[in-house]
Amino acid sequence: MAKRPAAAVDGQDVKNAYARWAPVYELIASPTVPARKLAAKRVNAIGGRFLEAGVGSGSALSLYTRNVSLVGVDLSHDMLRIARKRAAAMPNVEAIIEMDLMQLAFPDGHFDGVICMFTITAVPDAKAVMAELARVTRPGGTVMIASHFEANSGPWKITDGILTPFAKRLGWNPSMPLNKVMGVPALTLVEQTPLPPAGLITLLVFERHD
């Protein structure tokens, strides 16, 4: 039987979905905590000014050390209300801003790096977002993506198949292929690492070049 493709997820789908998810997001996202910790550890090892693209409820904010100055952006007003409360006591968080990742309101090369966790599958055009993340990162900087991409085998393939028809209601595409984030001219992939639980998450590290 052919796999039913996911319907395209747009900005309004994301806003609607995360208005529902916001009160229970921490519980739903608990399996991603180990991957968040590992990704944040990588950011801390680099340091500097980072953009967290898709900051959501700010669940990762406490994981960044003082050598990381952070700006968080997200499209969901409901999630950002939680993130702002968390960020209020964190001096290394510069701002939490409602913003579309398709059109980032920052100048070119504004950040030393970008970290985007569990968000790239919740945008209408992942490659366009990748180009924006590259644009706001300085040459020599780092763009990190942590997300679940389409599984080609094993139990995650079954789960993807079950969830994919509900992509618009979920607010993300459970079976987005990895190649959707590749091929941006300004980015070179330097690392691809599976993260827990059981390889569900993939960490992609790109270097921004001229």
Residue 135: in which H helix or E strand, if any?
Answer: helix 126-135
pLDDT means over runs of 10, the chain (210 residues): 54 74 73 93 98 96 97 94 95 97 97 96 94 98 94 67 67 84 97 90 95
How far does Cα 169 stand from its chain's mean position? 18
- The label of the residue with tokens 């801390």 reads 44
Query: Kind of pairing, strands 187-195 and 201-208?
Result: antiparallel
Q: Please give the model's pTM, rounded to 2 decimal places.
A: 0.87
Residue 48 and residue 59: Cα distance in Å, rounded? 20
Residue 77 and residue 182: Cα distance in Å, rounded? 29
Q: What angle do the packed helices 11-21 and 77-87 form, to 10 degrees?
A: 60
Contacts of 152 (CB under 8 A, 6+ apart): none
pLDDT value, residue 1: 38
Q: Integer distance in angstroms from the first to the last C-alpha of the chain?
A: 45
Pair 68, 45: CB distance under 8 Å: no
Domains and CATH numbers, the chain: 11-208 (3.40.50.150)
pLDDT value, residue 158: 57
Question: Which token pair is 94?
Answer: 């510069």
Query: Kind of pairing, strands 137-147 and 201-208?
Result: antiparallel
pLDDT value, residue 2: 43
